[in-house]
């Protein structure tokens, strides 16, 4: 199993904190935005004497509420057959891989990719075949011809993250339709990780894979409440597909782990009552953070940061030769006014060895105006790193 690039530097961060250094965590997608008031009230008003197992597919009431949520996006789901509640989006991806792929099968994944896809694939005995996107064009999806070159008799699926973690790239309808045509031509599943679907900027629109006609037997969607409602610790995800045969197999894996977290489901169901005002405010906040971060990074000589279209991450290219050493150095040796930042080395977001050595992933999940915000480390202070980055 590969170490998580998001978490492997935690011991160095802990040592820095013991020395009295303030560490700003831009390495992990842990938002500092409050949950919806509906979720907070649900936690405060819980009155349980027994915390029971739920159905292996999740509470029926929660699945019905999820179906209503998706209906607002023009997606019609049967809560009895199309929705499986999981222990976070992570379990949803793992169950999806094991339900539609055999040991030794191959899955094509655009890289940079969510680092744990590599771990999920190894745990499922599935082989990741990466297709590389580049920072120069904002990590746009490579052409379909490049995908087709990777297809072998062992290829069973394509996995995308939309909007993308770690790049923030937002897939267009045209790109999704091109993937659809490829999947139908070669009889492949498409697994779409859509956990950041509510974070889209600049007037753009998120198009779900479930909105693409013709993929009823081929589309598998992953979702989660972790980032949507700032409920990462609830560990509630969702696996969705119109393919009933696939969903029946997935349910067998769900039965093997008994049930998803019962308490998390109760809170997640309450969070679904949040109105548009909550999401509008959250989107405005992330857009403001993104704009500030991109502007300040691009002011630094030798740094390039594309503008993410969604999610709350970016991959930035820095004037360094080894991002793993650099991110460790930030925690071990560097401080500015007794403060430093924790970043995620981009090497862990590539499946191809040797790529991403001069890149880092940054999560813009901390506020700009709080005295403890990392954004007070203005561009001038960051420029002080330029002579030391190697």
Phi/psi for 107 (5° steps) reads -130, 130
Q: Tell me the CATH number for domain 10-35+276-383.
A: 3.90.1150.10
pTM: 0.93
pLDDT band at 363 (very low <50, low <70, confident <90, very high): very high
Mean pLDDT of 91-103: 98
pLDDT band at 65 (very low <50, low <70, confident <90, very high): very high
How is the chain split into domains, by residue range?
10-35+276-383, 51-271
| pLDDT of amino acid 381 | 39
* pLDDT greater than 60 at residue 370: no
| pLDDT of amino acid 379 | 37
Burial of 362 (0-12, 13-18, 19+ CB in 10 A): buried
Q: Tell me the CATH number for domain 51-271.
A: 3.40.640.10
pLDDT band at 180 (very low <50, low <70, confident <90, very high): very high
| pLDDT of amino acid 371 | 54
The pair of structure tokens assigned to 276 is 């548009």
| pLDDT of amino acid 2 | 82
| pLDDT of amino acid 372 | 55
* pLDDT greater than 80 at residue 386: no
pLDDT band at 235 (very low <50, low <70, confident <90, very high): very high
């Amino acid at each position: 199993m590969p170490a998580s690039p998001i978490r492997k530097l935690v011991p160095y961060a802990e040592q820095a904190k013991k020395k009295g250094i303030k560490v700003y965590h831009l390495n992990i997608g842990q938002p500092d935005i409050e949950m919806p008031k509906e979720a907070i009230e649900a936690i405060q008003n819980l009155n349980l004497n027994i915390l029971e197992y739920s159905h292996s597919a999740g509470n029926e009431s929660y699945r019905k509420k999820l179906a209503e949520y998706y209906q607002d996006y023009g997606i019609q789901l049967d809560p009895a057959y199309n929705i499986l509640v999981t222990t976070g989006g992570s379990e949803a991806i793992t169950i999806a891989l094991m339900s539609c792929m055999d040991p030794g099968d191959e899955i094509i994944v655009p890289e940079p990719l969510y680092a744990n896809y590599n771990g999920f694939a190894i745990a499922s005995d599935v082989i990741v075949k990466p297709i590389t996107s580049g920072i120069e064009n904002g990590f746009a999806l490579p052409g379909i011809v490049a995908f087709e070159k990777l297809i072998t008799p062992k290829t069973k699926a394509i996995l995308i993250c939309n909007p993308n973690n770690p790049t923030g790239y937002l897939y267009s309808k045209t790109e999704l339709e091109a993937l659809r045509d490829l999947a139908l031509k070669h009889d492949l599943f498409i697994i779409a990780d859509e956990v950041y679907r509510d974070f889209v900027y600049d007037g753009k629109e998120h198009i779900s894979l479930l909105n693409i006609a013709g993929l009823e037997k081929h589309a598998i969607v992953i979702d989660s409440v972790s980032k949507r409602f700032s409920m990462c610790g609830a560990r509630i995800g969702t696996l969705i597909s119109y393919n009933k045969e696939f969903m029946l197999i997935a349910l067998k894996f769900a039965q093997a782990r008994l049930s998803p977290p019962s308490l998390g489901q109760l809170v997640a169901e309450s969070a679904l009552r949040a109105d548009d005002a909550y999401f509008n405010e959250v989107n405005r906040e992330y857009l403001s953070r993104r704009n500030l971060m991109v502007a300040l990074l691009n002011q630094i000589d030798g740094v390039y940061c594309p503008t993410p279209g969604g999610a709350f991450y970016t991959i930035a290219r820095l004037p360094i030769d080894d991002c793993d050493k650099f991110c460790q150095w930030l925690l071990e040796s560097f401080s500015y006014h007794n403060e430093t930042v924790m970043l995620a080395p981009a090497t862990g977001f590539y499946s191809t060895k040797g790529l991403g050595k001069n890149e880092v992933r940054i999560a813009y999940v901390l506020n700009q105006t709080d005295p403890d915000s990392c954004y007070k480390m203005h561009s001038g202070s960051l420029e002080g790193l330029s002579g030391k980055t190697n």
